[in-house]
Amino acid sequence: MKRRVVITGTGAIGPNGHNVSEIWDKVANGISGIGPLTLLDPTPFTSKIAGEVRGLDFTQYFTKRDRSRLDRYAQFILVAYQEAATQAGWNTSPPTPQRTGVYVGSAAGGIGSLDQNHEKFLQGDYRHISSTLVPMAIANIAAGEIAVRYGHTGPNFSPLSACATGNHSIGLGFRGIQHGEADAMVVGAGDALIVNSMMAGFDRMQALSTRNDDPTLASRPFDRDRDGFVLSEGAGVLLLEELEQAKNLGRTILGEVVGFGMTADGYHITSPAPGGEMAAKAITDALAEASIDPSAVSYINAHGTSTQANDKTETKVIRRALGQAAEKVAISSTKSTTGHLLGAAGALEAILCIKAMLAGFIPPTINLQNPDPECDLDFTPQVGRHANLEYVVSNSFGFGGHNAVVILRQYPA
């Protein structure tokens, strides 16, 4: 019999706040975290807006030495981990080290450190290239840092699947506990990709919104006038534990992971498959594992990137997966307020789903002023609403055709 897996801690950082409560308050109230691009010189770019983490004092968390040898993305993840561990009581009553694993990923790791050091190389400043550049740049170092700092010596792995990374981390950690590979798992993802190379790459793809005159209106999933996503940064970390262990250790249980589905489109490196067959299968596989009918789903946190292709395809995906139940389910895209955290998006959105269940509140899709006729489901425009949420679905679809879907249940069910 598969073991039950519950969530006992969450931590997050993003453009809307430096912890879960701050971010949830802004998302629930429809307050955007998008603003002018300040981390980079915006001059070369068509898009001059971003979801930056502003005002975070890293000196509160890290020594000068640590700050010099940890990429910004890894620092985000470690800050989020500390919040989650404090909430769960892992600092005072830690799980067994050998039975605690870490599945924390990133879409592109420390590419900011790579950019900075490459610039030094081009300028001939070889002596000042960091001797720790390689560990700063690789995408698995945050998972390694957590294990080293906190002694979690169970399974350790870093999923990397573009915008589906966060959900893959949660789902694979869920599987690890289900099947007895571990009793506790640190899962999630972080990214800090507001750097010249990534900004230029997405800009050249014409994937980013250019609504520069009013950044807070730029991310507008499912709206007829959407013109691209907004690049954001941050991290989300969840602590998963086997149910009986969590109860024996007196943990406060925030929710339960009950279903996971992952597929590949096998269609195109950046565009979703037009019919959405395999993305829909990821949802139906997750529903089957959760042993629920589509009509049981109370809320879907959509991938909802605010791009033309994603939003109309995701509408088809939800219809294909849920059938008639798609007409009644409440859906929203919290990327309308947070922007797109890329690999970290699914992790943050799972945390927002947990907060939604605990609060009994569906967060809105802000800026949905002129619904696209091809996006004709209930996307909770502009204002959130109260509802009892027993089962929630979180969708993540990444470049390369990676699809990952997680289903969470209110606890106690």
The average confidence (pLDDT) of the chain is 97
State the CATH number of the domain containing residue 121. Answer: 3.40.47.10
Which parts of 38-183 are beta strand (E)? 49-50, 100-105, 156-157
Choose among 60, 27, 53, 45: nearest CA to 191.
Answer: 53
User: Which tokens belong to 99?
Assistant: 């039975």
Do residue 294 and residue 350 come from a single domain? yes
Q: How far is CA 203 from CA 127, 230, 245, in A?
A: 32, 11, 47
Give the pLDDT confidence score for residue 147 in this predicted structure: 98
Where are the extended beta strands (E) located within 85-181?
A: 100-105, 156-157
| Mean pLDDT confidence for 272-279 | 96
Question: What is the rounded distance in angstroms from the CA atom of residue 345 to the CA atom of residue 368?
Answer: 20
Same domain as 319, residue 397: yes
The reply to whether 310 and 337 lie within a common domain is yes
Summarised one tens digit per residue, pLDDT across range 118-142 is 988 999 988 898 989 999 999 999 9
Residue where the block lists tokens 């020594």 = 63
**What is the 3 state secondary structure string of 205-252?**
CCCECCCCCCHHHCCCCCECCCCCECEECEEEEEEEEEHHHHHHCCCC
pLDDT at 385 over 90: yes
Which two structure tokens, joined as six digits, stand for 184? 């506790």
Among residues 168, 303, 353, 375, the one annotated as catalytic is: 303
Euclidean distance between CA atoms 321 and 259, whole angstroms? 14
Which of 206, 226, 248 represents a domain boundary (last residue)? Answer: 248
How far is it, in rounded angstroms, from Cα 91 to Cα 153? 16
Q: Is 131 exposed, middle or buried (0-12, 13-18, 19+ CB in 10 A)?
A: exposed
pLDDT of residue 267: 97
Q: Which of 163, 168, 353, 402 is catalytic?
A: 163
pLDDT of residue 413: 61
**φ/ψ bin of 342: left (φ > 0), alpha (ψ from -120 to 50), beta (otherwise):** left
Burial label for 205, CB within 10 Å (0-12, 13-18, 19+), is exposed
Query: What total of structural domains would you count in the chain?
Result: 2
**254 located within any domain:** no
User: 108 — phi, psi (to 5°)?
Assistant: -145, 10
Query: What is the domain range of residue 91?
Result: 5-248
For residue 358, being part of any structural domain is answered with: yes
Residues 127 and 234 reside in one and the same domain: yes
Handedness of CA 405, 398, 77, 236 (dihedral sign): negative
Structural contact between residues 284 and 321, judged by C-beta atoms closer than 8 angstroms: yes
Percent of the chain with pLDDT over 70: 100
Burial of 198 (0-12, 13-18, 19+ CB in 10 A): buried
Q: What is the pLDDT of residues 245-267, one digit of tens each?
A: 999 999 999 999 999 999 999 99
- The model carries a pTM of 0.97
Q: Is 324 exposed, middle or buried (0-12, 13-18, 19+ CB in 10 A)?
A: exposed
* Predicted pLDDT of residue 412: 85
Kindly report, residue by residue over 172-222, the tens digit of the pLDDT. 999 999 999 999 999 999 999 999 999 999 999 999 999 999 999 999 999
Contact (Cβ atoms closer than 8 angstroms) between residue 279 and residue 316: no
pLDDT > 70? residue 318: yes
Domain stop point among 188, 220, 248: 248
CA dist., res. 278 & res. 337, Å (int): 28
d(CA 273, CA 277): 8
Does position 297 have pLDDT exceeding 70, yes or no? yes
Q: Are 208 and 288 members of one domain? A: no
Catalytic residue among 18, 168, 340, 402: 340
> Is 283 contained in some domain?
yes
Q: Give the separation between CA 261 and CA 266, rounded to whole angstroms.
A: 16
Active site annotation includes 303: yes
Neighbouring C-alpha atoms within 13 Å toward the C-beta of 299: 31
State yes or no: pLDDT of 1 exceeds 80: no
Confidence of residue 76 (pLDDT cuts 50, 70, 90): very high
Q: What is the mean pLDDT of residues 359-368?
A: 98
Residues 205 and 319 in one domain: no
